[in-house]
Amino acid sequence: MGVFDSGVGGLTVLHECLVTSPHEDFVYLGDHARLPYGPRPLGEVRRFAREIGAYLEAQGVKMIVAACNTATSAALPELQEGLAVPVVGVITPEAHAAVQATRNRRIGLLATEATVEAGRYARLVHELDAGVDFFPVACPRLVPLIESDDPFRAETTETVREYAEPLKAAGVDTVILGCTHYPLVRPIFQRVFGREVTLVFSAEETAREVAETLARKGIENDPAREGTYRFLTTGDPVAFRTMGARFLQLPIAEVERVSLDALRAAAA
């Protein structure tokens, strides 16, 4: 099974998939050479996702997880149309969970600029409940802070507090953490919002959808076997291994480098 993200944030999703489906084989690709996706135009992100999807399909995966909210926002329908294998994104499971969790029908979203601009969360939430008041906030400074050497420093807390302010003022009782990086500093979000606000993030919800999709399509591995996992990056393998272990919460032994030319050739 292929899993991809712009960097290491999607490893929070992979972690839950490894727990939920330990008998499956996974290959994870982090596109560090082109990180971050959030400030980029949606068309450019769409092209990146198309290249990665084609590359992973050529690796023989039976399913692909777009473990990146920006890539899911920009490219999920195109990936599903263009690839022969099933493709699951991280947005639909979160939208469902948020609508089920809210009590006052006021839902906030914290995400990258591109994810907010795409408007996919708003559409999905309103398809599920047209009466929900939805408040999206773009958070351009968060991903670099979370991928820094010290994600828990005071600056991160102050930045989260700044982005949370309009949502607290709007009286939301549920907040979607609409970027796979954000769960790494979940305690900061919970402290800023307080326990009365429900935080929804993609990892557990997406892993559940992946397992259900495998079962529904009858393409699960034998539950008795133990799965394997590989890691690929378009950036620096050493940096990926060091930072990735923090997000995956498991040791990462080896990381292979993939060139951007190889990705482009797969989509040609």
- With a CB cutoff of 8 Å and minimum separation 6, the contacts of 129 are 99, 105
Q: Which of 35, 64, 68, 160 is catalytic?
A: 68
Catalytic residue (choose from 97, 164, 179, 255): 179
Question: 66 forms bridges with which residues in the sheet?
Answer: 4, 89
- Burial class from Cβ neighbours inside 10 Å (0-12, 13-18, 19+) for residue 176 reads buried
Cβ neighbours around 141 below 10 Å, total:
14
CA angle at residue 205 from 52 to 213, to 5 degrees? Answer: 65
Known catalytic residue at 179: yes
Residues known to be catalytic: 68, 179
